[in-house]
């Protein structure tokens, strides 16, 4: 395993945006530590990638602080340090506020909020001690500009809070040379959206189309390459947050 190259930790790494990020960083020669809930999903992802030796799979529920601790412990033991954390794991449940169940609430708080906080806590301590690092949070453009056509109070609540936390943490960690930013996707072509809804979703976008996973990958790579960018929320949404249309 390559202990010389930079190391990135990616949550929600087995599919969708997370899998695409794993692939992109591996192609750049990074060591990649991927987390998903089950090892079977991570093994399937590794097989699709050709079982690269610089991919380390760490399974576990990212809502559990122990998972975050083990994730960083394993990454550091194998690769020496962690340079980048991408908090990608997330779920999206859209429904009118009165329709949310306690199970919905617990699921979103677990994956989206705890799944952001515990890895970020580990990253902040480790990267501050190293005097360098990037934390990138995948949030949601609907948290920047709610849409009457998509009632989604819980994602707006949690992802909106993470957008605000991104700016606050960027200030807190700036003196330690740790950069913290976010990418706020709009509607992206992932398995999250049934293909039968694509025409409806396209009509909701000023650009008249939905985004590609690569659009999010490009934004994350820009942020982790940037040397003088921190505390920003980058919408990747075809203009949905620009205003009314």
Average pLDDT, the chain: 94
Q: How many domains does the chain have?
A: 1
The pLDDT, as a whole number, for residue 204 is 74
The pLDDT, as a whole number, for residue 195 is 60
Burial level of 39, CB count in 10 A (0-12/13-18/19+)? middle
**Confidence bin at 23 (pLDDT 50/70/90):** very high
Q: pLDDT digit string (tens) for 158-184?
A: 999 999 999 999 999 999 999 999 999
The pLDDT, as a whole number, for residue 149 is 86
Query: Does some domain include residue 206?
Result: no
Query: Does some domain include residue 197?
Result: no
Query: Does some domain include residue 189?
Result: no
Query: Does some domain include residue 147?
Result: yes
Q: At 222, which CATH number?
A: 3.40.50.720
Q: Output the CA–CA distances (angstroms, integers) from residue 168 to 163, 173, 185, 210, 226, in the order listed.
A: 9, 9, 20, 30, 19
Total residues found in the chain within this entry = 245
Query: Does some domain include residue 157?
Result: yes
Q: pLDDT digit string (tens) for 104-137?
A: 999 999 999 999 999 999 999 999 999 999 999 9
* Weakest-pLDDT range from 18-22, 169-173, 192-196, 231-235: 192-196
From 106, 116, 138, select the one nearest 223 (Cα to Cα).
138
Cα angle vertex 109, ends 114, 56, to 5°? 40
Q: pLDDT digit string (tens) for 94-108?
A: 999 999 999 999 999
Task: Please give the helix or strand (H or E) that residue 184 lies within, else none.
Answer: strand 178-185
Query: Does some domain include residue 238?
Result: no
Q: pLDDT digit string (tens) for 27-72?
A: 999 999 999 999 999 999 999 999 999 999 999 999 999 999 999 9
Domain residues for the domain of 178 are 7-184+214-229
Query: Does some domain include residue 245?
Result: no
Query: Does some domain include residue 128?
Result: yes
Q: pLDDT digit string (tens) for 194-230?
A: 666 677 777 777 888 899 999 999 999 999 999 999 9
**Cβ neighbours of residue 234 under 8 Å, at least 6 residues apart?**
181, 182, 183, 184, 219, 222, 223
């Amino acid at each position: 395993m390559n202990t010389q190259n930079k190391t990135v930790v990616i949550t929600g790494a087995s599919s969708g945006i997370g899998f695409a990020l794993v692939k992109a960083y591996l192609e750049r020669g990074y060591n990649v530590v991927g987390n998903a809930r089950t090892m079977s999903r991570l093994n399937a992802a590794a097989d699709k990638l050709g079982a690269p030796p610089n991919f380390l799979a760490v399974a576990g529920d990212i809502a559990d602080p122990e998972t975050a601790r083990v994730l960083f412990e394993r990454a550091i033991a194998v690769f020496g340090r962690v340079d980048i954390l991408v908090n990608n794991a997330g779920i999206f449940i859209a429904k009118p506020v009165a329709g949310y169940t306690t199970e919905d609430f617990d699921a979103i708080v677990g994956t989206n909020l705890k799944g952001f906080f515990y890895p970020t806590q580990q990253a902040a301590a480790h990267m501050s001690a190293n005097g360098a690092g990037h934390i990138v949070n995948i949030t949601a453009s609907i948290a920047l500009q709610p849409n009457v056509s998509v009632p989604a109070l819980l994602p707006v609540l949690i992802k909106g809070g993470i957008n605000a936390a991104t700016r606050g943490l960027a200030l807190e960690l700036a003196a330690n040379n740790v950069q913290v930013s976010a990418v706020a996707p709009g509607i992206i072509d992932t398995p999250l959206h049934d293909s039968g809804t694509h025409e409806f979703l396209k009509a909701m976008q000023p650009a008249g189309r939905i985004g590609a996973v690569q659009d999010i990958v490009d934004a994350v790579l820009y942020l982790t390459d940037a040397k003088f960018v921190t505390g920003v929320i980058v919408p990747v949404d075809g203009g949905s947050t620009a205003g009314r249309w």
